Amino acid sequence: MISRMDISLSINSRPYELDVDVRKSLMDVLRELGYTSVKHGCGVGECGACTVLVDDVAVDSCLYLAVWAKGRNVRTVEGECRDGKLSAVQEAYVEEGAVQCGFCTPGLIMSSTSFIEKNSGTRPSREEIAKGHAGNLCRCTGYQTIINAVENAIKK
Amino acid sequence: MAVGQSHIRKDVRAKVTGKTRYTDDFSMPGMLQAKYVRSPVAHALVKSIDTSAALAISGVEAVFTHADVPKNVYPTAGHPFSLDPDHQDVADRLLLTDHVRFHGDEVAIVVARDLLTAAKAAQLVKVEYEELPVCVNSAAAMAEGAPAIHDGGNIIKSTSFETGGTFSDAEKKAVTVVEGSFSTPIILHCHLENHTAYAYMDDNDHLVIVSSTQIPHICRRIVGQALDMPWPKIRVIKPYIGGGFGNKQDVVLEPMVAFLTTKLGGLPVKLELEREEGLVATRTRHSQTVTVRAGVSRDGTLKFLDLNVISNTGAYASHGHSIPMAAGSKSCNLYPKAVTRFSATTHYANIPAAGAMRAYGSPQLFFGLESVIEEVAREIGMDSVDFRIKNSARAGDILAKTGDLKHSVAMIECLEKGRELISWDSRKKQYADQQGPLLRGLGVASFSYGSGTYPACVEIAGCRLVLNQDGTIHMQIGATEIGQGSDTALAQMAAETLGVEYQAIHVVSEQDTDVTPFDPGAYASRQTYVTAPAVQQAAEKLKKRILGHCQLMTGEDPGNLDLQLGKIIQRGSPEKVVVDLTELALDSYYHKERGGQITAEVSAKTCTNAPSYGCTFVDLEVDVEMCTVSIHEIINVHDAGKIIHPLSAEGQVHGGMAMGIGMALFEELLVDPESGWIFNGNLLDYKIPTSVDIPELKSAFVDTFDPTSPYGNKSLGEPPAISQGPAIRNAIWDATGVKINEIPMTPKVLFKHFKDAGLI
């Protein structure tokens, strides 16, 4: 039985050569590498706190084996702030008061980033934004300011 | 003005870039992982435990059972210590038990070098149980001859009080009396960060605990009680935490990790609960039966309220009887001219232990109270908003908790504002005669709350300010930031009083009981209210010392000086800058002869408790055939005194409303009444609202200034979650003519009631 595998991938455009335990989720491996913005909220794909983008597609990294990321680019919220400048989505979350405890925030920002990139050039309704974020649970905000933030980021 | 502005939250840039570190984001070399062995039955005695197979696995360091743990029973509720033994929390916990009291109770614990090994070994611990009869609900737990869940029986406490006059006299003056009985389910907190903690020893008799807790100083004391250690030998560190909502106002994992490290030579040991463990084996919101009688005189004056609560606290007392009693006393702030008789009984049962949850018993009590208020108003043919306005608290009323202090009271203005915002009068007319399966309804419910725990508990808070070399200020407070925004609000207060820019205040967000000023923590919606005096006094002190140093530098009389926006100026002449704070700060540190580091520290007790008020207005549609409810408009209006940070205030209201809507319409932990088996202890089957389940949330404020706070503010963290249940229930009644006296008002529940009423 294969228990480990060598993989190469990039995380926030930085190349990595890794020898990974095949049982490990992408979430576990990212956290071990120091990408602790990727949060463990449930481990079974219910809460979305571990959302990252794999080749720009939002996934629950707790359900995604690390070995599946071989040859792909993984984006986490650490990579969205470049040269000290927040991304449009991050900035919108700050401006709209969309952050309270902050534990769901990195996953939600990645979901918003993916949603906005997918819908680029369109003006989705608040209902469509809500639907696009239904995989991320937040217990602090009631989602109101998160939807506000996505609307704000789209306008940026 | 720093106060009253929506400044950028102190922690927000760190949070959006993933830089904030929560307990689980720290690790130490050699850190061991622990995993509980949990009971698969709800009530049993442990006959034997065989740990040999678990211990045989490579990587397992130790297995502990009830036989290995200290025999000190300890309480877990996050209340400050009480000097009155009668007021101390019930001590009914051991670290591990041989008497299983709920499905998931902790009988053993495995420690291994990694989590997978620990989890595998935990499954190999063989436990033999002798099952006992199970009681899940109040009737079974309080029945004659019910099996005793703890020595001394299942009833923890039964108490009552009367306030506002003589009850029997008031009862005689009422001509119309309405009564109702209401039930509420077990609700789960569902903060996104699970409970997690680790501990290690940094000396032979000194240990360090890092934990996701709302109450580091209380945690230190309870670990001391559990392990029989002097409290100062324990250091508790609280990093950023991913929500708590009261579930981390309880000491859950900390005594165990502390015990484990002492047993394992001081090595770091970590316990991180899985989501499924966290949902059932931490704390819940109490399920309650609330019975309310209300009587009015001929002119529509509410004469009396007779409230009774039966509160099911589950397997262990935790906050126990404090929950209904706190809600009872806070409710008396709403209709203070009526005589209130309140009684409550709290009992054990074989379900997960209930503890503190946002608004601490009030959502349950107000579900009953505000439903009956609606009924009594309709009974006498009065508009229910008018009835509430006639009977609600006004400034100058004598409040049961705090006497006749001149608090700000804007309950009536809240009702008036809400009525206008939702176009109550015109929509009432519009919805008067409806036909068909889709029916619109309007509902309202009020609430009252406190701004702390005084006089039930001590209210103490601390603040330390340090002038840095560059003229910025480091601020340490005992109050814990748990997402609600307290760091930001308290920094605004310090900036305001001190006379510096908000940006010049750096808040040390982490609490560390070895160095942080004493404060019991985040609960009771207390922090901005009870920390405000400490912040204000510390800022005044620091300012005085800064101006004193200016005198050393310039010879100017401090009486003629002031600090404004980081500059020392001539009082009354802001353009005349005497010295810049940056220059003064460097001088205070490094001048060879004069001055010293400029600091100020204040510990302050608060002996008032400002009442806060508000209400929910809702316009909804009931699809009678589908038994569903859709909310068209929902508005919360609050009197929280002076609003310190408008954007965060709205955020608190939104979050509370979403939690209240979840409680009203979706959420319920299901426990089999026969076996105590938990059916839906995971986030797939226990439904908290997602972004598509929550309607647009509207909030409004009636700005008041409470004279008992230096900044005029009152509580706002917990109150927004109280009044959605009764408002929605009243609106469903308005739409359909059917009274739903239980929550959650799911399609299943609505079907039963609509069928009974002949609607379907």
User: What CATH number is attached to the domain comprising B528?
Assistant: 3.30.365.10
Is residue B186 in some structural domain? no
pLDDT of residue B656: 98
**Under 8 Å CB-to-CB from A125, ≥6 apart: which residues?**
none
pLDDT tens digits along B181-225:
999 999 999 999 999 999 999 999 999 999 999 999 999 999 999
Domain end (from B573, B605, B637): B605
- Rounded Cα gap, residues B272 and B252, in angstroms: 11
Are residues B358 and B213 part of one domain?
A: no
What is the average per-residue pLDDT within B494-499?
A: 98
Is residue B165 in some structural domain? no
Asked whether residue B369 carries a pLDDT value surpassing 90, the answer given is yes
User: Does residue A43 belong to the interface with chain B, where contact is any CB pair within 8 Å?
Assistant: yes
A102-141 residues touching B, CB cutoff 8 A: 102-106, 109, 126-127, 129-131, 133-141
Domains of chain A: residue spans and CATH = 4-79 (3.10.20.30), 88-155 (1.10.150.120)
What is the average per-residue pLDDT within B244-255?
A: 98
Are residues B503 and B636 part of one domain?
A: no
Is residue B84 in some structural domain? yes
- Rounded Cα gap, residues A103 and B553, in angstroms: 47
Are residues B322 and B416 part of one domain?
A: yes
Tokens of B613: 């008020």
pLDDT tens digits along B256-278:
999 999 999 999 999 999 999 99
Domain end (from B590, B605, B620): B605
pLDDT tens digits along B692-747:
999 999 999 999 999 999 999 999 999 999 999 999 999 999 999 999 999 999 99
Domain count, chain B: 3
Question: Mind telling me how many Å the CA of B577 is from chain A's nearest CA?
Answer: 34
Does the distance separating the beta carbons of B20 and A86 come in below 8 Å? no
What is the average per-residue pLDDT within B528-556?
A: 98
User: Does residue A51 belong to the interface with chain B, where contact is any CB pair within 8 Å?
Assistant: no
Are residues B437 and B475 part of one domain?
A: no
Angle, CA of A141, B330 and B407, to the nearest 5°: 90
pLDDT band at B669 (very low <50, low <70, confident <90, very high): very high
Mutation target for A interface from B6, B16, B196: give the one with most A CBs within 10 A.
B16
pLDDT tens digits along B500-528:
999 999 999 999 999 999 999 999 999 99
Does the distance separating the beta carbons of B17 and A37 come in below 8 Å? yes
pLDDT of residue B350: 98
Which chain A residues are closer than 8 Å to B658 by Cβ? 139, 141-143
**Closest CB from A76, A99, A101 relative to B241:** A101
pLDDT band at B401 (very low <50, low <70, confident <90, very high): low
CB B309 within 8 Å of CB B364: yes
Mutation target for B interface from A91, A101, A125, A127: give the one with most B CBs within 10 A.
A101
Are residues B431 and B342 part of one domain?
A: yes
What is the average per-residue pLDDT within B659-664?
A: 98
The pairing of beta strand A4-11 with beta strand A14-21: antiparallel
Does the distance separating the beta carbons of A42 and B275 come in below 8 Å? yes
- Rounded Cα gap, residues B534 and B622, in angstroms: 50
Which chain A residues are closer than 8 Å to B243 by Cβ? 100-101, 103, 139-140
Is residue B106 in some structural domain? yes
pLDDT of residue A154: 96
Does the distance separating the beta carbons of A105 and B16 come in below 8 Å? yes
Asked whether residue A111 carries a pLDDT value surpassing 90, the answer given is yes
User: Measuring CA to CA, how many Å separate B254 from each of B30, B36, B219, B223, B586?
Assistant: 19, 14, 7, 7, 42
**Closest CB from B13, B240, B275 relative to A41:** B275
**Chain A residue with minimum CA distance to B482:** A101
Question: Mind telling me how many Å the CA of A89 is from chain B's nearest CA?
Answer: 9
User: Measuring CA to CA, how many Å separate B420 from each of B52, B342, B426, B700?
Assistant: 70, 33, 10, 11
Which chain A residues are closer than 8 Å to B18 by Cβ? 35-37, 76-78, 106
Q: Which of B108-112, B400-404, B431-435, B590-594 has the lowest mean pLDDT?
A: B400-404
Question: Mind telling me how many Å the CA of A23 is from chain B's nearest CA?
Answer: 10
Are residues B248 and B259 part of one domain?
A: yes
Q: What mean pLDDT is reported for chain B?
A: 97
**Residue B28 Rama label (left phi>0; alpha psi -120 to 50; beta):** beta
Asked whether residue B127 carries a pLDDT value surpassing 70, the answer given is yes
**Closest CB from B194, B683, B691 relative to A130:** B691
pLDDT band at B404 (very low <50, low <70, confident <90, very high): low
Percent of chain B with pLDDT over 90: 97
Are residues B42 and B31 part of one domain?
A: yes
A78-107 residues touching B, CB cutoff 8 A: 78, 80-81, 86, 90, 93-94, 96-97, 99-106
Is residue B162 in some structural domain? no
Are residues B116 and B21 part of one domain?
A: yes
Does the distance separating the beta carbons of B9 and A94 come in below 8 Å? yes
pLDDT band at B396 (very low <50, low <70, confident <90, very high): confident
Tokens of B51: 């740990």
Domain hosting B75: range is: 15-132+195-272
Are residues B693 and B639 part of one domain?
A: yes
Asked whether residue B36 carries a pLDDT value surpassing 90, the answer given is yes
- Chain A to chain B Cβ contacts (< 8 Å): 170
Are residues B744 and B619 part of one domain?
A: yes
